Amino acid sequence: MAGAGSRGRRRRRAGELENEVLAVLWAAGRPLTPAQVRESIGGGLAYNTVHTVLTRLYGKKLVLRDADGRRGAYRPARNAAELTAQAMHEALAREPDPLAALRHFVAGLSAREARELRTLLGGGGVAP
């Protein structure tokens, strides 16, 4: 039986809380302490939970820690677009047929995204 403190709370999927923490840090535009992150997320999270997530993100080199006495403030190591691009590169590197995966990815683009990709590949902003 779940404890009284967990009633009404939904269980987050793996990685979802890490994504929420990163979103808070990106939106802040400045380093935040675990307490500030906890306050921004809300939902009754324990301080230790947020601190653990930040420590894991630091271990994955996704956030940087600025020491401030006994407590630290955290900031993202990369912006959201850079992190997404890195994940895409890593996914393609793991794929046995990266070109097939890339074809499937491109086939799923919206018309707007496909136009932008053509512009980028046509010399409008992407270095080879």
Here the tokens at position 42 are 């809300």
In a structure prediction context, what are the per-residue pLDDT tens digits for the chain, which is 128 residues long?
444 444 555 677 768 999 999 999 999 999 999 999 999 998 789 999 999 999 999 999 999 998 765 578 999 999 999 999 999 999 999 999 999 999 999 999 999 999 999 999 987 555 54
Rounded Cα distance between 120 and 47, Å, is 43
Rounded Cα distance between 60 and 53, Å, is 11
| pTM for this prediction | 0.72
Rounded Cα distance between 64 and 54, Å, is 9
Q: Determine the residue type at 54.
A: L
